[in-house]
Amino acid sequence: MIKRLFLISFCLCFVMQTVHAGIVEPVFKQFKDPNQDGVDNVPSTVSIQITPDGKKMFLLDHLENAGSKKVYIYDLTTPFDISTLDVTNRTIVSLDGYGDNMGGNNDNKDIEFNNDGTKVFFFSEYGTLQIHNLTTPYDVASISSSTVVADDGLNYKTKYSVNNIKGVEFNNDGTKMYFVDGTQHATKIAQINLSTPFDPTSGTKVHTLDTEPAGVAFYTMEPSFDDDGTRLYISEALNNSTGATTYMYVYKLSNPFELSSATFAGKWPITANGRNISAYSWTFGNNGMKAYIATEDANADGDDIIYEYDLTCPYGIVLCETDAVTAIGAQVEIAKNVIHQNSSTIFKRFDWLRRNDERANLTNHEVKLNINNPILAALKTNFENSLKNIQFTPASLKKENTNKNKKNWSHWSHVDVSFGRVGDTGSSKPKEVDTWGVMYGLDKLVNSKIFGYAFRYGIDQVDLEDGSSNELESHTFSFNMYSSVPLKRQSNLNLLLGVSYLRIDQLDKKNRETGERNGKQIYTSISYENENAFTKYDLIPFGKFEMGITQFSDYTNFDVISNNIENHERLTFRTGNASAGLKFDSILYLKDKTLSRNGFIEYIYDLTPDIDHHVRSHIDNVSVKKTIKTHSLHNVKGNIGFEYMNSNGSTIAINYERFQSLDETGHKDSLLIKLGTAKKQNANFDVIYDPINNNKTEISYLKDFDNFKLKLNSNYNLFSKIPDYGANIELSGTF
């Protein structure tokens, strides 16, 4: 027995060590010679970049003499596919004569862009820098004496104490800059914090990461980060005609973009087409699902070759991790959407009541209590008499009337369907969001004030466009209390307080559940509107404030692709927005019918702060902070709708709504449908209690829909030790 246990333990340890030691390797796809036919070493690639849309590639040359420094620009007819690299029609742009001199022969240069492609930087190994402002993003072909930023006279090697600038990188927002000091046997990376984004002159050196302990034997070249700054990659280079093994080194950063939090994760021997190559320059593409390596040395594939790789997961070199920023960002988006859908629907209820303030008696509910017991029969009559005045009506709810002190109720329902795309930012991948929900509400007039309750059930489906084909599916139950208080001068204050329970399932592309997260939230919304008629369209100015607090449970995500398990900590965060706009209303009277044309235009400022979330991988047990940034601070929302009401009170309303981000390409389209009737519909609510017959209790609800009757029954023995209960639904009709 002991031998068996020992053998099992040994096998488990071996498997765990094997899993831990295994690395994720890029998959070589193809190579391309970027040189003109019959021309060698032009360009001898020293820096490579590709646009976010994959349609243009840029190369800098290594061997060109002083006075002939050039940028080579290539179009890709198929995005991210270097086999379609248009070598014949490439554009060549000289850097000479603009700002700083880019140095002489056999030196390193680096091309970098800011986060939106409107500024391009050319760094040289000697510490000089040339900057151009681009009117059209990534239009490097347009650089001239009019686009160049005046020479600052600085030498960045001296300013930041770097021996050899082999590569340069910025973080997403340009507040940090990184210099690779690629001196052989003394390789380091310096972090420079910039007080002005993308201004290299405004920096302070805060940390230097020594890469020698990781095993770097040659020169370090290009640095790069993943999308959220939690992984750092540096390449190793050598004139590799000898076929020596060089590596790509990977670090994990527990604090995004902070080199002081870096932990070495592993290295990948750089190979292509079955041979060792040297990554003199390289870059990611296609949201981290592609990598491109450019060589400067001659090998069996030729001289100065570009190699293209497919990655099995976003930024998948050495290790795979789920795109937690995108996934958690999607969960935050679901929480915001739940609050928005509840408040938006209920505030449309206020608008409907305002438009139909003279219509009453939409429904009539009679409540009856039946007790089959002589002892309690005497109580029945008194109780029923107390309920006779309970009538459910949607009355004016705004104007004073004789029934304002009665319990006049109205009930309503609403269905919403929306679809859109959000989150296309530098650190978060876009997400396709589809939502549908149904809401049921009850409200009444209390001393000229509206008071009501509403329940909503909603489903959100989010497709994560992060290369994983994963999706999120949420189910939400919400309860709301709302009120509208009339103020002076025909103005109203609308109030909402709600709570929600959320369950979010994370699914892979085969619809397998990889993680489950629960959440709860509390939220409030307040709006003010003035109903004085402005113009014939009854323009109504309004302002609105919305705030919510959401708490997500901790959960475990099983990543099938990377064979990784991620533990996500509990997350509590605040969301909110402030807005202002104009509503309009125009009612057309057609004999015994009315047609309402309504809508609004609204500016929304997002008050949601950056949200920090911590996730730990079982592979290395390193806790990493992921930061979810607000997608868009400035947004606009528009709505247009029509409502048709017949003389018998039957009504149909359709609203189309568009939410548009002004800071990025995010948007959401919503379609809301409401059906209603003013015809009286009798309903009976019965409670039957018989203490003589084993305390049998029966509850039933009967509603009459013209020729059809709906009956719900349930029974329960209140005091039985063995539960005895049941329920049934009956639907009957007469013809």
User: Quick one: pLDDT at residue 368?
Assistant: 37
User: Quick one: pLDDT at residue 309?
Assistant: 96
User: Quick one: pLDDT at residue 193?
Assistant: 96
pLDDT at 126 over 60: yes
User: Quick one: pLDDT at residue 165?
Assistant: 87
User: Quick one: pLDDT at residue 400?
Assistant: 40
- Name the 3-class secondary structure at 378: helix
Provide the token pair at 505: 């399932």
pTM over 0.75: no
Q: Are strands 109-113 and 91-94 parallel, antiparallel or unpaired?
A: unpaired
Within a 10 A sphere around the Cβ of 729, how many other Cβ atoms?
9
Mean pLDDT of 336-342: 91
The residue to which tokens 């050196």 are assigned = 205
pLDDT at 9 over 60: no
Mean pLDDT of the chain: 78
In 216-323, alpha helices (H):
none
pLDDT at 616 over 80: yes
**CA 641 remoteness from chain centre:** 28
pLDDT at 580 over 80: yes
- Name the 3-class secondary structure at 343: helix
Mean pLDDT of 22-31: 87
- What is the amino acid identity at position 36? Q
pLDDT at 15 over 70: no
Mean pLDDT of 596-604: 87
Are 351 and 597 in contact, with CB atoms under 8 Å apart? no
User: Quick one: pLDDT at residue 361?
Assistant: 38
User: Quick one: pLDDT at residue 590?
Assistant: 74
Q: Which residue has the higher pLDDT, 416 or 500?
A: 500
Residues 535 and 575: their CA atoms lie apart, in Å, by: 36
Closest CA to 235 of 302, 287, 309, 299: 309
**pLDDT tens, residue by residue, 381-425:** 444 444 444 343 333 333 444 444 445 678 788 887 777 676 555
The side-by-side arrangement of strands in the sheet containing 91-94 is 45-50, 56-61, 70-75, 91-94
pLDDT at 134 over 90: yes
Give the CA distances from residue 418 to residues 37, 415, 422, 518, in Å, rounded to whole numbers and listed in that order: 53, 10, 13, 23
Closest CA to 251 of 189, 309, 206: 189
User: Quick one: pLDDT at residue 628?
Assistant: 81
Q: Which residue has the higher pLDDT, 720 or 50?
A: 50
Min mean pLDDT across 50-54, 286-290, 569-573, 674-678 is at 674-678
Within a 10 A sphere around the Cβ of 726, how many other Cβ atoms?
9
Mean pLDDT of 122-128: 87
The model's confidence at residue 70, banded by pLDDT at 50, 70 and 90, is confident
What number of residues does the chain have?
Answer: 735
Tell me which range, 62-66, 109-113, 527-531, is most confidently predicted by mean pLDDT: 109-113
**pLDDT tens, residue by residue, 671-709:** 777 665 544 445 555 555 455 445 555 656 566 655 556
User: Quick one: pLDDT at residue 85?
Assistant: 93
Based on the number of CB atoms within 10 Å of its own CB, is 450 exposed (0-12), middle (13-18) or buried (19 or more)?
A: buried
User: Quick one: pLDDT at residue 662?
Assistant: 84
Tell me which range, 130-139, 211-220, 642-651, is most confidently predicted by mean pLDDT: 130-139
Give the CA distances from residue 437 to residues 352, 478, 516, in Å, rounded to whole numbers and listed in that order: 19, 11, 21
Are 409 and 442 in contact, with CB atoms under 8 Å apart? yes
Mean pLDDT of 100-115: 76
User: Quick one: pLDDT at residue 355?
Assistant: 65
pLDDT at 311 over 80: yes
Element (H, E) at 675: strand 667-676
The model's confidence at residue 727, banded by pLDDT at 50, 70 and 90, is low
- Name the 3-class secondary structure at 82: helix
Min mean pLDDT across 383-397, 546-560, 563-577 is at 383-397
Min mean pLDDT across 28-32, 301-305, 378-382 is at 378-382
The side-by-side arrangement of strands in the sheet containing 696-705 is 683-690, 696-705, 708-717, 725-733
Provide the token pair at 593: 């019918």
Min mean pLDDT across 324-328, 349-353, 365-369, 572-576 is at 365-369
User: Quick one: pLDDT at residue 395?
Assistant: 36
Provide the token pair at 452: 């009501």
Mean pLDDT of 270-276: 87
User: Quick one: pLDDT at residue 17?
Assistant: 36
User: Quick one: pLDDT at residue 171?
Assistant: 94
Mean pLDDT of 304-310: 92
Q: Cβ contacts of residue 575 below 8 Å, gap of 6+?
A: 332, 335, 336, 339, 547, 548, 549, 550, 607, 608
User: Quick one: pLDDT at residue 497?
Assistant: 96
